[in-house]
Structure 1
Amino acid sequence: MAHVQSGDALGASYRLEEPLGSGAVGEVWRVSSASGGPDLAAKLLRPEHAQDPTLVERFVRERSVLLALRHPNIVAVRDLVVEGDRLAIVMDYVTGGSVRDLLESRLTLPAGEALALCAEVLDALASAHAGSATHRDIKPDNVLLAESWRPGLQGAVKVSDFGIASVIGERTRHTTGMVGTPQYMPPELLSQGEIGPAADIYATGIMLYELVAGRTPFAGAGTDFTLAYRHVTTLPPRLDLPEELWAALEKTLSKNPRERPGAAQAAAQFRRLAREFADLPALSRSVEPEDFQAVDRPATVLRGAPAEPEAGPTVVARTPESPQPELGPAGSRTIVRPMPRRDPARPVEPVEPENTASKWSAWLTRKVLVLGAVGLVLVVGLVFGIVLTLPQSSPAVGPRAADATATQQDVPLPSGLSVSRAASYDAAAGEVKLTITYSAQKAPLRGPFLEVLPGAAGSPACPPVTWENAAATRNKPSLSGVSANCGWSVDGVRIPAQGSVEVGATIPVALAGENALDEWLDAAAAATTEATADDSVEGSAYPVQRLRGIQVQTPARTVSQTALPVTLVPVWPSGPDVLGPLYKSPATGKPSEMLTAIAGGEKGVRFSDGCSGGLAVSSDGLVVTALAVAPSCVLRAVVGNFTDLASEPFGITTRE
């Protein structure tokens, strides 16, 4: 993803205003909306992670879950922008700061206030868990406040940053990576690489401890691995709190995730305790202990395991002396780093005691085996010698293809793109030279374009390709969403209106058969068409090839003498995508990359009156104003090669 700056467009609906902060996987910006209304916040995937398939896949996969998360204590996600390699979650802009800011100013909170605050966090988590989503990174930085905190304040807590939440199909999710913040990581993630909703309860307990004590329970000297390891092997230092309150806090910090309460249960208990201990004064900020008390045995029981585990070999957690990855200084920042997968210990086969009485029979058995093996070797050698003396015959293969040429032409696409391919085969060199000609009709077009260049028939290997006049990289399904074996993303192609551009490729491939080149070229074109027409693919990758239509959307009713809101919705093989509009009028900021690719930007957009004078269109054709009262109007539009677009009928009324 290119470097972003203030004033840049974010999709067709937003403009970046100012940066608000950054984390391990994203940068947060304040953004304005083209449709007006209050400012929003947008979390953009960091440029250095934009090429990480795992992070991008997680970011995109949670689209429907994020939009469905609606709770008074969750920062509402309003939109997801997926545009090229830029991905962003657009959410409400919360202005009261974070609980981290509150901690820095207050150092500690009275237990009653801390319990009330964490109860609202648990309310949010209960709602998310019911929707099969877990946060995975609860900490004061990700809990925002709608207004400045004060005793008795209710409804101000807003849990944010569900952008790195993990969608779970079961109660737990195995992982081979470490995503989270070391000070708040549950022990089961470190000891077993397993995480589930109980991890959020654990992190909330850590945050409650921090609000009361001014520090997290396992903070201290060492790397973040050292800190994280304490979650598995040591007990949280006891705080000077009433027994009932400490017991509730300690329960959320259980090493066994099965023993932690659910979010709703914990929220109810925290609220009751907040009322009972409302007059308890705040503690002084706790200091780091000189040493941590070790648990008798590191926890290995996992959520969902039987209450009474079957007898078997004990799983021992990694010891401090064991090899450990260097993860850097301990801190409270989210980390996304690889973790080695733990393989279950293989059971040791029991060794039978030696029977001295049977030594002689054992020797006889070994002697027979040795003699048998020698005999087998002699027989194999004899057979091999006979085979060598027989007349040799070559395996049956098809005739090697001779020098040949072939051509192929695609059907023109709705965007106005036409693709023709001309190939020549050099039998001596064993390579195909391919010339791809991209042509445009009414509007300029630009890449990236998908091209599938397979190996020889029957070969699963994808050949290397040398490109000319284009910058091409292997298609990455995790980024584009398009699955295409041996696919290439061809960029740097700019096709003028009613013009054409040629791109060259050299492919080392050994063809066999009389019509091998024609068959190879047809297979390449067919695979490209199939991939770009796949109706299971979502997202805006390869828009010139994948766009099937454009919908012109307006409100069902508008007021005269006002600008008419217009949204151009792209229609992909999977259907219309209202979450990723192509263009909005009136527009702010730069045009979207999709619009630039299929129409050359805003200059390729023109609206016109379909209401017999009921609409006025600006001189640049981009802003529409409702004029006269009319019961039924239609707005017409031209977008690049899409020249016959019209909205559904809408009405114009007087201002009330």
Structure 2
Amino acid sequence: MQMAQTGQALGASYRFGERVGSGAVGEVWTVTSTDGRTLAAKVLRPEHADDPSLVERFVRERSVLLGLQDSHIVTVRDMVVEGERLAIVMDFIAGGSLRDVVKEAGPLAPEDAVNVAAEIFDALAFAHSRGVTHRDIKPDNVLLARPWSERETGDIRVSDFGISDVVGEKIRQTTGLIGTPQYMPPELISQGRSGPLGDVYSTGVLLYELLSGRTPFAGPGTDFSVAYRHVSSRPPRIPVDEALWGILDQLLSKDPAQRPTAGEAVSMLRRLAPKLAGTAPIARVEAPEDFDDVERHATVVRGAFTDDELAAFAAAPAAGVDAVVPDLGQAGSATIARPMPRREVQSRMDDRPEEKDTTPFWRTRKALLLAAGAVLLIVAMVVGFILLSPTSPQAAPTPAGQQLSTQLQDPATPTGLTISRSAAYEPSSGQVRLTVSYSAQKAPLSGEFLEVIPGLAENDACPAVTWDGATASRNQVSITGLDVECGWKLSGMEIPAGGSIQATAKVPVAPTDQKSLDAWLRSGSEATKAATQDPAVKGTAYPVQRLKGVEVRTPARVVTPSPLKITLVPVWAGGADELNPLYVSPSSGKPSQMLAAVTGGEKGLRFADGCGGALAVDSSGLTVTALQITPQCTVRASVGNFTELQSAPFGITSRENAGD
């Protein structure tokens, strides 16, 4: 296959610029599109492009990757299949990577490290909700929208989502690995595969590195020795806040079931971040001489290798052990995509000659197993008779006066709002204390929010609620258009970009057990989401919770030179709302309350030329003028958390031809 060269065409829409990097699966180049945009293209290596099955997977994954649109994910724009060349075209992110930050800045202040990790978990939570797992989270794959010294909230971008799904379908099975040794979750080493909770683990390793300047298991030995420590060793304790270490300990759990989900990790870190403000970075941590083994690490689920094989791989060749060690690449921090040797499983019966068994039957293993089974059956029958007997005592209910607590987090809305709820029942008060946390991503959010507080049982009356932290009133269907029982309108809520606020409610309900409390909290969350996403609802109430998208509308033809009329149309669950525009440019008068709610006002809105210089955008980014005649043009827009909007094509003509 011909290697890429500067100036060479890539498909029909791009031209190669400069090579900016290379990795295990391909090279990264800047490319220029036909409309003048600078993008990045990952060109897969020839050995991948020559695989017919990979080309099939490449095409199959196209719609998934193109649909992975989130403010914390590097957006995939196109996937090019050109002869033997396969390339993934994505946004070019110019601020460098977290790898550069780790090298230059060393350990970060805990608050900074936690906020960076929270934004990575935002990206993971979104991808996992769409069924996409990253499988190679590390600082190299986390990019910055601008240099670290100029960073702002929302600048984190996770790249290479879906790359492993394109190149690693066969490799990831029990005969291969894809990942980076210093960041590999233990189940990848022991089973040969991992899922979304593996991404959580790798991000925990990255957070550890941001805090300490090194990954937890980096140290002497081969690359497989480093990887094996994820299975066999405890992460060395670093001198950070106890609460922060507690979260790290959960993220780095050997058992995937003990780790939080990405969404839960976001909530945990964002609650902790304000408490870490002003805490200085710790000194760079050196690798320990020895790593502490975990207790009974053999309980980790296995499938790819046996314990003896794993231990042999980790010891060779430093200990002189004769073992064929899987090739994990040149360095523990480099992504690998390598086949691993197959294990030939041979029946032990084939290893020894036939011998006639002269042991009496009553002393054979089979006889003993049959006897043990009979005893267990008799015991089970006796226990079952006792339990089913009418005179047997009933199962003890939950002890009266027991304290209960639970929590729940909703997926982020398109506007960037995440709602987390926690409920605690105090028997002494006979009330549940409900805490509702509202978090924003890239844009500040404000206005009115709906919260449904149901009764404990399905037919119970709506409870009387006492609110703190927000101005609360009953939702009125005649005003909001949302016909929902037990709904509350919370006003005066202003959430900063990347921040969160809380409102608390005292609710006079008394759940009898944990299951009852869990069901009550879940019913309130589900009722709130159902009401705000009801396609039959008309009107503009609760825009932060209800807005699904924004359409950029322009006239079909524009005369030059003249201002371009741009209308931003809100899209609700029921469709586009042309009667209540978010914004009209050129603007006259104050911005709409909806725009202020979802972007913070005009400061969260920007237009851009989408047709290579035919449009001029003023310094405010709010007024666009048609300058050059062109048959087809578009205008791009960024509206708060909606960062990749584009109008339908329109033409620009001269005044002389306007009447033609």
Q: Structure 2 length normalisation: TM-score?
A: 0.50
SS in 1 for 2:311: coil
CA deviation profile, 1:232-267 (whole Å, cap 9, x unmatched): 111111111222211110111111111111000001
Q: CA deviation at 1:60?
A: 3.5
- Tell me what 1:615 maps to: none
- Tell me what 2:5 maps to: 5
Q: CA deviation at 1:277?
A: 1.4
- Tell me what 2:89 maps to: 90
- Tell me what 1:22 maps to: 22
User: CA distance change for structure 1 residues 652 and 344 in 2, over 3 Å: closer, same or farther?
Assistant: same
Equivalent AA in structure 2 for residue 355 of structure 1: T
Equivalent AA in structure 1 for residue 84 of structure 2: D
Which segment is superposed worse, 240-249 or 41-50? 41-50
Unaligned residue ranges in structure 2 (runs of 5+): 313-320, 363-553, 562-610, 613-628, 633-648
Asked if 1:355 is matched to 2:354, the reply is no
Q: Which has the higher contact order (CA 8 A, sep 6+)?
A: 1
SS in 2 for 1:20: strand
1-side partners of 2:232 and 2:650: how far apart? Answer: 66
2-side partners of 1:71 and 1:53: how far apart? Answer: 31
- Tell me what 2:233 maps to: 234
SS in 1 for 2:310: coil
Aligned length: 369
2-side partners of 1:561 and 1:277: how far apart? Answer: 55
- The equivalences for 1:171-570 within 5 A come to 174-298=173-297, 300-302=299-301, 318-320=310-312, 323-327=324-328, 329-341=330-342, 354-355=358-359, 557=556
Equivalent AA in structure 2 for residue 88 of structure 1: A
Asked whether the 8 Å contact 1:191–1:300 carries over to 2, the reply is: no
- Tell me what 2:34 maps to: 34
Q: CA deviation at 1:67?
A: 0.2
Asked whether the 8 Å contact 1:73–1:123 carries over to 2, the reply is: yes
Q: CA deviation at 1:275?
A: 1.4
Asked whether the 8 Å contact 1:223–1:326 carries over to 2, the reply is: no
- Tell me what 1:487 maps to: none
Asked whether the 8 Å contact 2:190–2:301 carries over to 1, the reply is: no
Aligned identity (percent) is 55
Unaligned residue ranges in structure 1 (runs of 5+): 306-313, 359-554, 563-585, 588-623, 628-648
Q: CA deviation at 1:352?
A: 10
Asked whether the 8 Å contact 2:16–2:32 carries over to 1, the reply is: yes
1-side partners of 2:349 and 2:131: how far apart? Answer: 39
SS in 2 for 1:95: coil
CA deviation profile, 1:421-456 (whole Å, cap 9, x unmatched): xxxxxxxxxxxxxxxxxxxxxxxxxxxxxxxxxxxx
CA deviation profile, 1:384-420 (whole Å, cap 9, x unmatched): xxxxxxxxxxxxxxxxxxxxxxxxxxxxxxxxxxxxx
CA deviation profile, 1:259-286 (whole Å, cap 9, x unmatched): 1110000011111121111222101111
- Tell me what 2:514 maps to: none
Asked whether the 8 Å contact 1:179–1:337 carries over to 2, the reply is: yes
Equivalent AA in structure 2 for residue 176 of structure 1: T
User: CA distance change for structure 1 residues 34 and 257 in 2, over 3 Å: closer, same or farther?
Assistant: same
2-side partners of 1:50 and 1:626: how far apart? Answer: 37
User: CA distance change for structure 1 residues 45 and 262 in 2, over 3 Å: closer, same or farther?
Assistant: same
Q: CA deviation at 1:177?
A: 1.7
1-side partners of 2:631 and 2:359: how far apart? Answer: 101
1-side partners of 2:166 and 2:22: how far apart? Answer: 23
Equivalent AA in structure 1 for residue 101 of structure 2: L
1-side partners of 2:651 and 2:348: how far apart? Answer: 76
User: CA distance change for structure 1 residues 262 and 327 in 2, over 3 Å: closer, same or farther?
Assistant: closer
2-side partners of 1:653 and 1:352: how far apart? Answer: 98
CA deviation profile, 1:52-77 (whole Å, cap 9, x unmatched): 45654544432111101011000111
CA deviation profile, 1:39-92 (whole Å, cap 9, x unmatched): 111111123432245654544432111101011000111111111111111111
User: CA distance change for structure 1 residues 650 and 136 in 2, over 3 Å: closer, same or farther?
Assistant: closer
User: CA distance change for structure 1 residues 136 and 54 in 2, over 3 Å: closer, same or farther?
Assistant: farther
SS in 1 for 2:101: helix
Q: CA deviation at 1:204?
A: 0.2
User: CA distance change for structure 1 residues 198 and 11 in 2, over 3 Å: closer, same or farther?
Assistant: same
Q: CA deviation at 1:300?
A: 4.6
RMSD: 3.8
User: CA distance change for structure 1 residues 151 and 247 in 2, over 3 Å: closer, same or farther?
Assistant: farther
SS in 2 for 1:337: strand
1-side partners of 2:18 and 2:25: how far apart? Answer: 18
1-side partners of 2:272 and 2:150: how far apart? Answer: 15
Equivalent AA in structure 2 for residue 45 of structure 1: L
2-side partners of 1:650 and 1:243: how far apart? Answer: 58
Equivalent AA in structure 2 for residue 318 of structure 1: L
Asked whether the 8 Å contact 1:192–1:300 carries over to 2, the reply is: no
User: CA distance change for structure 1 residues 558 and 152 in 2, over 3 Å: closer, same or farther?
Assistant: closer
- Tell me what 1:116 maps to: 115
CA deviation profile, 1:288-313 (whole Å, cap 9, x unmatched): 1101111122255459x9xxxxxxxx
User: CA distance change for structure 1 residues 318 and 54 in 2, over 3 Å: closer, same or farther?
Assistant: farther
User: CA distance change for structure 1 residues 105 and 650 in 2, over 3 Å: closer, same or farther?
Assistant: closer
- Tell me what 1:437 maps to: none
User: CA distance change for structure 1 residues 199 and 56 in 2, over 3 Å: closer, same or farther?
Assistant: farther
Asked whether the 8 Å contact 2:212–2:238 carries over to 1, the reply is: yes
Asked if 1:74 is matched to 2:73, the reply is yes
- Tell me what 1:403 maps to: none
User: CA distance change for structure 1 residues 73 and 187 in 2, over 3 Å: closer, same or farther?
Assistant: same
User: CA distance change for structure 1 residues 247 and 10 in 2, over 3 Å: closer, same or farther?
Assistant: same
- Tell me what 1:449 maps to: none
Asked whether the 8 Å contact 2:41–2:90 carries over to 1, the reply is: yes
SS in 2 for 1:62: helix
- Tell me what 1:495 maps to: none
Asked whether the 8 Å contact 2:560–2:653 carries over to 1, the reply is: no
2-side partners of 1:71 and 1:353: how far apart? Answer: 68
Q: CA deviation at 1:316?
A: 6.5
User: CA distance change for structure 1 residues 111 and 211 in 2, over 3 Å: closer, same or farther?
Assistant: same
User: CA distance change for structure 1 residues 559 and 16 in 2, over 3 Å: closer, same or farther?
Assistant: farther
Asked whether the 8 Å contact 1:59–1:163 carries over to 2, the reply is: no
Q: CA deviation at 1:221?
A: 1.9
SS in 2 for 1:332: coil
SS in 2 for 1:32: strand
Q: CA deviation at 1:339?
A: 1.9
User: CA distance change for structure 1 residues 355 and 16 in 2, over 3 Å: closer, same or farther?
Assistant: closer
- The equivalences for 1:618-629 within 5 A come to none
Asked whether the 8 Å contact 1:559–1:653 carries over to 2, the reply is: yes
SS in 2 for 1:40: strand
1-side partners of 2:155 and 2:81: how far apart? Answer: 30
Equivalent AA in structure 1 for residue 127 of structure 2: A
Q: CA deviation at 1:327?
A: 3.9
